[in-house]
C-alpha cells in the first residue's frame, strides 16, 4: 500500500489568530514578537502576516530590522495561551481523520492517512476535508502537502501558501524533488550546505546523482541526505509527537552583566516554565539553560535530574547552578532561556516515596495559581523574580 503522508502548516499562525480576533487588523502588516521600541527594541519576530512579508519581514528576524523595513506595521506581543487553545482545536480536527499524528510544533503536524483515507473519499478528498474542518473549528486557513514521504509532504505544504494544497504522487516523487535547492531538505544545515555547494551540489537532483565518494567528510549524514534526495525516506509519522519541551526566553533591552538582574530573570523564567508545565499537566527531568552573549554567541548547558519536576523552585535552583558553572568571561548577556524537557504526565509516579517537601511545594504552587487565576499573573511573583517576564 502506498504511503499517504500529510503535512499541515498553519498560515502565519499567530498573526492570523490576531487578525481573526480583531477584524480591524485584516489586510494590515501584523508582526508578533518583541516590542520594537521605535526601532531600538531587542528580541526577534515570532511570526508575521503575509502583508508584513511583502516588506521583507520574516520570522526570527531581529525586531529592530523588522521596524526598519516596516515601521507602519502593527506590533503585538504574543498571547501563547490563545495560540495553544487554537492548536488544541486543530489537533482535535486531525484526530477526526487519523490517530497517527506527529505534532512537530504548535502550528504544524504530520498525519499518516494511509489507513484511513478510504473512509473520507480518498487521500485528496481527505486533505480537502481536513482543511475545511480546521477552518470550521478555528476560522483559520492552513496549507497542506500530500506525498508518499515526510520530506516531500513538508516541502509541498510550503509551495502554495497561504491556503494551499499540493499533491505529490509516488511516480513523480523524484521529478518533484530534483530541481529544488538543497536547502529544502530538513536537517541539512548551513555548514553542510556550504560543503555541498563547494563541490557543485546545489539542487536535490545533483545530490541524488552524487557518488558516495563526493560526500566524503560528511560521514553517515551525507549518505542519509543522499537517500532523502533519492526519495528514500522511510521515516514514520510518530504517534508520540506530543510536546517535547516547555521553554521561555527573555532578551534584555541592553546587554547586561548585572548579577542581580540576571538572577531575577532566571528565577522568573523558571517560574514561567513551571506555570506552563503545570497548566499542561506535565513535569520534566532535564533542565536546559540557554545563554546568548553580546556578539550573538549562543550556548546551552543542561542537567538531567534524578526525578521529574514542575516545581518552580527546583527548576530555578538547577538553572542558577548551570549559570554559575558557565564561564562567560567579561562578556555581557543578551538573552537567557530556560527549558524543561524529558516530559511525562505530572500525575505519573516515579517513586514510592514522595520527596521531602513535595506536599508543601504542591500546596504553595496551588495557592499561587489560585491567586493568579483570580487577580492575574502580575498579582504575585516569587522572591527574586521579575514581574514582567
pLDDT of residue 54: 96
CB atoms within 10 A of CB 132: 11
Average the pLDDT over each of 136-150, 264-278, 367-381 and give the range with the smallest value.
Answer: 367-381
User: Does the pLDDT value for residue 175 go beyond 80?
Assistant: yes
Kindly state the average pLDDT of the residues 238-258: 80
pLDDT of residue 274: 93
Q: Assign domain 245-379 one CATH number from 3.40.30.10, 3.40.190.10, 3.30.1490.100, 3.40.710.10.
A: 3.30.1490.100
CATH architecture of 14-80: 3-Layer(aba) Sandwich (3.40)
Alpha-carbon span 323 to 264, nearest angstrom: 12
- Give residue 122's region: left, alpha or beta (phi > 0; psi -120 to 50): left
Reported as a single tens digit per residue, the pLDDT across 42-62 is 888 999 999 999 999 999 899
Instruction: Give me the chain's average pLDDT, please.
Output: 88
Task: Output DSSP code: residue 108.
Answer: E
Let me know the angle formed at the C-alpha of 7 by 143 and 343, rounded to the nearest 5 degrees.
120
Question: What sign has the CA pseudo-torsion 88, 89, 90, 94?
Answer: positive
pLDDT of residue 376: 54
User: Does the pLDDT value for residue 105 go beyond 70?
Assistant: yes
> Are 178-229 and 245-379 equal in CATH topology?
no
For the full predicted model, state whether its pTM sits above 0.85.
no
Q: Name the CATH superfamily housing domain 178-229.
A: 5' to 3' exonuclease, C-terminal subdomain (1.10.150.20)
pLDDT of residue 379: 47
List the catalytic residue out of 18, 51, 102, 108: 108
108 is catalytic: yes
DSSP codes, 189-243: -HHHHHHHHHTT--BHHHHHH--GGGGTTSHHHHHHHHHHHTT---PPPPTTBS-
Reported as a single tens digit per residue, the pLDDT across 343-377 is 888 877 654 445 545 566 666 666 655 665 655 54
User: Does the pLDDT value for residue 195 go beyond 70?
Assistant: yes
User: Does the pLDDT value for residue 380 go beyond 80?
Assistant: no
Reported as a single tens digit per residue, the pLDDT across 298-335 is 899 999 888 889 999 999 999 999 999 999 999 999 99
Q: Taking the domains of the chain in order of start, what are their residue ranges?
A: 14-80, 178-229, 245-379
User: Does the pLDDT value for residue 241 go beyond 50?
Assistant: no
Reported as a single tens digit per residue, the pLDDT across 200-210 is 999 999 999 99
pLDDT of residue 57: 97
Kindly state the average pLDDT of the residues 135-146: 98
Say which residue, 282 or 146, is predicted with more confidence: 146
pLDDT of residue 335: 92
Give residue 386's pLDDT band: very low, low, confident or very high (50, 70, 90): low
- β-pairing, 333-345 vs 245-256, is antiparallel
Average the pLDDT over each of 88-102, 269-283, 351-365 and give the range with the smallest value.
Answer: 351-365
pLDDT of residue 239: 65
DSSP codes, 114-131: TTTGGGGTSHHHHHHHHH
Amino acid at each position: 500500500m502506498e504511503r499517504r503522508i500529510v503535512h499541515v502548516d498553519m498560515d502565519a499562525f499567530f498573526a492570523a489568530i490576531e487578525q481573526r480576533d480583531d477584524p480591524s487588523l485584516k489586510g494590515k502588516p501584523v508582526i508578533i514578537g518583541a516590542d520594537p521600541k521605535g526601532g531600538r527594541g531587542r528580541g526577534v519576530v515570532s511570526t508575521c502576516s503575509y502583508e508584513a512579508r511583502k516588506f521583507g519581514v520574516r520570522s526570527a528576524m531581529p525586531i529592530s530590522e523588522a521596524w526598519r523595513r516596516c515601521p507602519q506595521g502593527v506590533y503585538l506581543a504574543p498571547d501563547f495561551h490563545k495560540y495553544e487553545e487554537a492548536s488544541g482545536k486543530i489537533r482535535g480536527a486531525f484526530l477526526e481523520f487519523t490517530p497517527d499524528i506527529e505534532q512537530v510544533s504548535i502550528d504544524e503536524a504530520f498525519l499518516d492517512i494511509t489507513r484511513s483515507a478510504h473512509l473520507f473519499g480518498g487521500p485528496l478528498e481527505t486533505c480537502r476535508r481536513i482543511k475545511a474542518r480546521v477552518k470550521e473549528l478555528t476560522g483559520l486557513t492552513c496549507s497542506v502537502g500530500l506525498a508518499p514521504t515526510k520530506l516531500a509532504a513538508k516541502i509541498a505544504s510550503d509551495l502554495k501558501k497561504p491556503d494551499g494544497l499540493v499533491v505529490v504522487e509516488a511516480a513523480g516523487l523524484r521529478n518533484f524533488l530534483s530541481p529544488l535547492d538543497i536547502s529544502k531538505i530538513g536537517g541539512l544545515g548551513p555548514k553542510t550546505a556550504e560543503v555541498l555547494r563547494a563541490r557543485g551540489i546545489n539542487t536535490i537532483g545533483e545530490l541524488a546523482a552524487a557518488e558516495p565518494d563526493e560526500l566524503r567528510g560528511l560521514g553517515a549524514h551525507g549518505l542519509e541526505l543522499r537517500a532523502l534526495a533519492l526519495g528514500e525516506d522511510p521515516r514514520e509519522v510518530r504517534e508520540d509527537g506530543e510536546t517535547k519541551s516547555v521553554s521561555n526566553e527573555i532578551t534584555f533591552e541592553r546587554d547586561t552583566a548585572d548579577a542581580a538582574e540576571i538572577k531575577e530573570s532566571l528565577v522568573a523564567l523558571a517560574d514561567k516554565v513551571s506555570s506552563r508545565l503545570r497548566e499542561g499537566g506535565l513535569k520534566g527531568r532535564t533542565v536546559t539553560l540557554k545563554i546568548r552573549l553580546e556578539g550573538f554567541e549562543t550556548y546551552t548547558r543542561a542537567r538531567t535530574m534524578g526525578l521529574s519536576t514542575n516545581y518552580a523552585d527546583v527548576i530555578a535552583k538547577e538553572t542558577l547552578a548551570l549559570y554559575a558553572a558557565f564561564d562567560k568571561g567579561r562578556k555581557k548577556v543578551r538573552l537567557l532561556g530556560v527549558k524543561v524537557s524529558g516530559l511525562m504526565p505530572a500525575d505519573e509516579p516515579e517513586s514510592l516515596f514522595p520527596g521531602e517537601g513535595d506536599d508543601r511545594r504542591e500546596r504553595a504552587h496551588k495557592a499561587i495559581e489560585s491567586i493568579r487565576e483570580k487577580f492575574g499573573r502580575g498579582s504575585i511573583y516569587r522572591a527574586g523574580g521579575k514581574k514582567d517576564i
